[in-house]
Amino acid sequence: MRGPQPEISDFPTLPPSRKFTAILSVMPSVYIKTYGCQMNERDSEAVAAQLVAKGYSLAPSESTADVILLNTCSVRDAAEQKAVGKMQTLAAEVRRHRPGVVLGFMGCMAQSRGRQLIDKLPDVDLVIGTQKFHRTADYLDDIFAGKLAKVVDVAAEAGSEATIREHLLNGSATDKSVTAFVSIMQGCNQYCTFCIVPYTRGGERSRSIPDIVAECRELVSRGVKEITLLGQIVTSYGKRDLPVNDGKSAFVQLLEAVHEIDGLERIRFTSPHPKGYGDDLVEAYCRLPKLVESAHLPVQSGSDRMLKLMHRGYTRERYLGIIEKLRRARPQMGVTTDIIVGFPGETEADFEETLSLARQVEFDNAFVFKYSPRKDTPAAAMPGQLPQEVKEERNARLLEVINEIGARHYAAYVGRQVEILVEGPSKRNPARMMGRTRSNKIVLFEGSERHRGQIMDLKINRAGSFTLYGDPAIINME
Ligand code: 5AD
């Protein structure tokens, strides 16, 4: 079933240099810049892979690209402003010198603002919503062929959750990626009162287990050793499509199916919702050794009053109970979280509950966000909106606690042996190799290309800020 037809403007003429490309039939090059979460990273990768399959090339930077696409995030106002500012710069600097360049927005902000983006930024040619990523290549073909001048397509499309499946794996013919993201579902039904995602990504839609497993198998056959299953709330995977079987939720059934894949070493997933940690999932940690000891479990607040206003669906006590169960199942469990400070009506006492929760759980790390009112969300209209200074002050105080606990956790690794999967050279210092522990801590060591993809034991000799440094303890020679 197709959604409504895209809005297409009555603007028939192509800029001269774009006609030139079309006439020469030289396939254009594309640069995609991504804002926001891992889902966005994954969507961009799939769009890039689809474009490459159609003959487009990937430009190394925006300065030489024929098409520049910004894959946007709406979760906080700052993320939207960044993308809008970037587009203004592209229009003023790139477009002025190369009028044939095609400029587009994709993703969450494209979905929520649609046509308004072109009204505000007339240089924009393309606005592609979150259920239309797979149409990008067709629309670009039409633009270059002179059939379309501008496109806005933010319609819903049944089945679009199954269209994010192509992978680039380093974008080269010699695939070298050791880790890959696999999108298992789209959308969210939780409607937390602060969150714009249900409006930008739509309701929950899950892919089938065989489809996901086939994609994972293909990745493993190309050398991938670790897969991260992705969704807005992965623990809600398949709820409406797959009945609970033998006490196991659809998500646990999926984990079991992926676990069967020979050659796959590690399974991660993000993000779960605390309410999704039934005993079946906790128990899966005891049965499935490929499931790593790592949980990114967004708590948002330590105050029951705030959790209720946020519509989170759990209490502080229930959250603490889940952490305890997980640590009982796997004592080395690395726990990270997301926390919002300055939600409407948050008092000093509420905030102190968040501080005390952070101290009690001892998170390995936490992403702390200052509440940002989002369009059409219930919290944006709640009384008690807090001034920016209060948000800043709470943000700083909470970060201090998080950093102090994190530093203590990391320091405790010095002298210990850890198992890492080597992903490749460190981005910051390519002379060093980088891997992750099962609990998702980054470890750097003096290694070489031949270590890529290996599971290695390292002895930690130093801890930096959220980074460990190690020496090979035993090198697995294969
Ligand atoms: N303001 C601030 N932070 C937000 N998040 C989601 N919506 C908002 C908002 N309106 C945070 C939550 C979520 C993370 C991805 O972003 O902590 O878990």
CA neighbor of 234 nearest in space, from 218, 258, 214, 217: 258
Q: Summarize pLDDT for 167-213 with one digit per residue, the tens.
A: 997 655 456 899 999 999 999 999 999 999 999 999 999 999 999 99
> How many angstroms separate the alpha carbon of residue 184 from the centre of ligand 1?
21
Residue 473 has a pLDDT of: 79
Tell me how far apart the alpha carbons of residues 308 and 368 are, in angstroms, rounded to a whole number.
19
How remote is the C-alpha of 10 from its chain's centroid? 36
CA dihedral 228, 337, 108, 237 (to 10 degrees): 50
Residue appearing with tokens 């579902």: 185
Number of CB atoms found within 10 A of residue 404's CB: 12
Structure tokens at 376: 């059409």
Residue 12 has a pLDDT of: 45
Question: Could you tell me which residues are beta bridge partners of residue 295?
Answer: 335
> How many angstroms separate the alpha carbon of residue 131 from the centre of ligand 1?
21
Question: Could you tell me which residues are beta bridge partners of residue 126?
Answer: 104, 151
Residue 189 has a pLDDT of: 97
The low-confidence residues of the chain, meaning pLDDT below 50, are 1-4, 9-12, 173
Q: Which residues line ligand 1 (CB under 6 A)?
A: 75-76, 194-195, 298, 300, 338, 340, 369, 371-372, 374
Give the three-class secondary structure for 54: coil
Sheet arrangement for strand 266-270: 179-183, 226-230, 266-270
> How many angstroms separate the alpha carbon of residue 373 from the centre of ligand 1?
10
Helices first, then strands: H and E counts in the chain: 15, 20
Amino acid at 478: E
Residue 19 has a pLDDT of: 57
CA neighbor of 126 nearest in space, from 145, 108, 148: 148
Tell me how far apart the alpha carbons of residues 139 and 127 are, in angstroms, rounded to a whole number.
10
> Which atom of ligand 1 is the closest one to the Cα of 298?
18
CA neighbor of 413 nearest in space, from 384, 439, 380: 439
> How many angstroms separate the alpha carbon of residue 366 from the centre of ligand 1?
12
Which residues are CB-neighbours of 146 under 8 A, at least 6 positions away?
A: 12, 14, 18, 19, 22
Residue 15 has a pLDDT of: 62
Structure tokens at 172: 């080269």
Q: Summarize pLDDT for 105-157 with one digit per residue, the tens.
A: 999 999 999 999 999 999 999 999 999 999 999 999 999 999 999 999 999 99
Residue 176 has a pLDDT of: 84
Q: What is the pTM of this model?
A: 0.94
CA neighbor of 308 nearest in space, from 333, 277, 345, 337: 345
Amino acid at 184: I
Residue 173 has a pLDDT of: 44
Contact 153, 132 (CB under 8 A): yes
Contact 202, 160 (CB under 8 A): no
Mutate to test the pocket of ligand 1, among 74, 191, 338 (most ligand atoms within 8 A of CB): 338
Residue 10 has a pLDDT of: 44
Which residues are CB-neighbours of 337 under 8 A, at least 6 positions away?
A: 296, 297, 298, 299, 361, 363, 366, 367
Mutate to test the pocket of ligand 1, among 73, 108, 193, 194 (most ligand atoms within 8 A of CB): 194
> How many angstroms separate the alpha carbon of residue 341 from the centre of ligand 1?
10
CA neighbor of 35 nearest in space, from 80, 66, 77, 68: 80
CA neighbor of 48 nearest in space, from 159, 207, 164, 130: 164
Tell me how far apart the alpha carbons of residues 359 and 215 are, in angstroms, rounded to a whole number.
40
Tell me how far apart the alpha carbons of residues 31 and 20 are, in angstroms, rounded to a whole number.
20
Residue ID of nearest Cα to ligand 1 atom 17: 338
How many Cα neighbours within 13 Å face the side chain of 88? 7
Residue 106 phi, psi (nearest 5): -130, 170
Is beta strand 226-230 parallel, antiparallel or unpaired with respect to 266-270?
A: parallel
Give the three-class secondary structure for 252: helix
> How many angstroms separate the alpha carbon of residue 45 from the centre of ligand 1?
23
